[in-house]
Structure 1
């Protein structure tokens, strides 16, 4: 477990950064990806090295069709292979369908759904090889509660919901295709705190109004979600595949 080679996309802050920290056992090699926040990614990489892991920073915009394959190859070359891929990159768009332009919808689809497909397609040979050689090969996608919660008293995110629902469908398809060599699962965060200074889809007042609707009466933290990702990447999750595990404080039941 300690010497595994891992790629985490969208890891310069939030859930991605927390996931990288949760996987940073001594001896692990972790590729920290960011679209544009190099300073954040470098800061995360320094934390991982302090924890005893090897870390490299990779940059790239997942809306570019060539980026996912390049990231996979760069990560595998830098780390000496690849056994775990965590697809976390994405953003929330709450634009209603009536105002949603083709360009805005395509941006969500390109980053989240097409980005995941291209990443999985590129990573597959590496993960399958690792699994067949006895490694703990894992792919984990970070989805979102917005693909499951549609109510009049809750903000909806149509473009994000469509993209994340597609990711969960691909997770199940890949779980069948890659079994028994690689497990493929999704983690589904609920309303989750953002890092200070980073963009949030809702204003502070909206966050406060949400709390009574969450059975656990609090927002989730990036560490809550990262713990579920770390479990799915662990030896203990070897018989878990094709699942979407909700980490939402009960907001989706």
Structure 2
């Protein structure tokens, strides 16, 4: 299996969880190379045939290179977790520029589409499998009050819709596609883009009374990856936010 954006944060939590359950994991990253190397060593100690794949998903040729490299090192793919994404930087709409738009779309939209395109042949060769996309609460909330994340929120809405299209197009190949939309988690990303005061204000809006943690994050992905647990589930988006948002 390949997990994009997995040298830190939720992606690294997933890599550890899947390795503990016997999966062979390709860890992907770009800038946090040493973190990735340490994580691969950790996964190997858990018995996983783990490897590190480096590459920039925002380049047009990046997603295919990353997916094919992972499949080559692992001997195939049966689970593809499209987890990488990001705000890039905050900018309100009235100050937004085209360069930021292109960066956000390249990483969050184009890379999702091209990575999936590259993964499909490998999943077919494995006899089917599971694709799991990572969206965000932003697909329901929008960019948030004064948050400056309009393009990112729109990109995450694309991912939820793209999940449904992928599920429909490849069901006959035995490939399931589902999506997890995390809320506010205690990750490096939230530390970069929010102050302690902002995180505390967010915490107070969550009915369960806390930010999400590693244990909270991994269960839905393990569930969607397992044919035994979710073999009749495809095209679904699971909201993972402690009750912060409760769509009807």
Greater helix content: 2
The match for 1:189 is 182
Pick aligned residue for 1:122 from 115, 118, 126: 118
Residues 173-188 of structure 1: matches in 2 within 5 Å? 173-180=165-172, 181-188=174-181
Residues 167-246 of structure 1: matches in 2 within 5 Å? 167-180=159-172, 181-195=174-188, 200-234=192-226, 235-246=228-239
Pick aligned residue for 1:103 from 74, 89, 99: 99
The match for 2:50 is 55
| Residues 1:68 and 2:60 aligned together | no
CA contact (8 A) 2:143 2:149 kept: no
What value does the CA root-mean-square deviation take over the aligned residues? 1.9
TM-score, length-normalised on structure 1? 0.90
- Unaligned residue ranges in structure 1 (runs of 5+): 1-5
- Unaligned residue ranges in structure 2 (runs of 5+): none
Any idea what the Cα deviations from partners look like across 1:28-48, whole Å, max 9, x if unmatched? 321100021111111111111
Aligned length: 243
Give structure 1 regions of 4+ aligned residues with deviation exceeding 3 angstroms: 150-156
The match for 1:38 is 33
CA contact (8 A) 1:27 1:52 kept: yes
The match for 1:9 is 4
3-state SS of the aligned residue for 1:61? coil
Shift of 1:131: 2.9
Pick aligned residue for 1:23 from 18, 26, 32: 18
What is the alpha-carbon distance in structure 2 between the residues aligned to residue 227 and residue 106 of structure 1? 33
Shift of 1:22: 1.1
